[in-house]
Chains A and B, each alone.
Chain A
Amino acid sequence: AQTVTQSQPEMSVQEAETVTLSCTYDTSESDYYLFWYKQPPSRQMILVIRQEAYKQQNATENRFSVNFQKAAKSFSLKISDSQLGDAAMYFCAYVTDYKLSFGAGTTVTVRA
């Protein structure tokens, strides 16, 4: 069974600063996808970034980037230049056989 671990229940960041969210996963697969989703108070799931395991280059989407370490099974998310709108719960997720397995989530608060 796949497991996704997010060890930080809460993180706080000053506006304009950088915060890094950690995620580790366990799998025996060689090719798979990893995701970071954002869930704001509206509870809509928003895809932040996606990484395909066979691609060594770390994915980047504007202020969001990942540090993908396949051997270590680590997939951290870095939010740069944090904005008030980044405040949300962030979930790391792994997919295989079309099923998403989510981590427990990290609540990010942004201080003005």
Chain B
Amino acid sequence: GAVVSQHPSRVICKSGTSVKIECRSLDFQATTMFWYRQFPKKSLMLMATSNEGSKATYEQGVEKDKFLINHASLTLSTLTVTSAHPEDSSFYICSARPHGTGNEKLFFGSGTQLSVL
């Protein structure tokens, strides 16, 4: 099956620093990628939709200046948490939709646990 690689799997940073998380489709091209946030034992909340070559679409309540998304190629989307604070600590997961497919195919990365001290 299709593989989505997400790195790093775990990151610890100091408050005020920025952290970049990568989501890469290894064996398919992904026109669209999605970024989710998940708190412990809670559901996944969609943060934004990332489209290759265009600006990301953010869900209501998500600060686009805090969570910068770049989808520069058909295989890579990045999420940068800028000026991170302890309340940004969370589990972040990406998913990717293969180019040319519909709603039935979405593949997930393995997630990134961010801890801000």
Where the two chains meet, the residues of A that have a C-beta atom closer than 8 Å to any C-beta of B are 32-33, 42-45, 50, 52, 89, 91, 95-105, 107
Size of the B side of the interface (Cβ < 8 Å), in residues, is 20
Known: A105-B42, A107-B41. A95 touches B110 (CB 8 A): no
User: Which residues of the partner chain B approach A96 to less than 8 Å between Cβ atoms?
Assistant: 103
Contact: B106 with A91, CB < 8 Å? no
Given contacts A45-B95, A104-B43, 20 further A-B contacts (CB under 8 A): A32-B103, A33-B103, A33-B104, A42-B110, A44-B108, A44-B110, A44-B111, A45-B93, A50-B104, A52-B104, A89-B41, A91-B44, A95-B103, A99-B34, A100-B34, A100-B46, A100-B95, A101-B46, A103-B43, A104-B42
Q: What would 11 A/B residue contacts be, using CB atoms closer than 8 Å?
A: A33-B103, A33-B104, A43-B38, A43-B110, A43-B111, A95-B103, A97-B103, A98-B97, A98-B106, A100-B34, A104-B42
Docked complex: B93-114 residues within 8 A CB-CB of A? 93, 95, 97, 102-104, 106, 108, 110-111
Residue B28 at the chain A interface, CB threshold 8 Å: no
Give 5 nearest A-B pairs by CB, closest first. A45-B108, A95-B103, A102-B43, A102-B44, A33-B103
User: Which residues of the partner chain A approach B111 to less than 8 Å between Cβ atoms?
Assistant: 43-44
As a 0/1 sequence over residues 45 to 69 of chain B, the CB contacts with chain A under 8 angstroms (1 = contact) are: 0100100000000000000000000
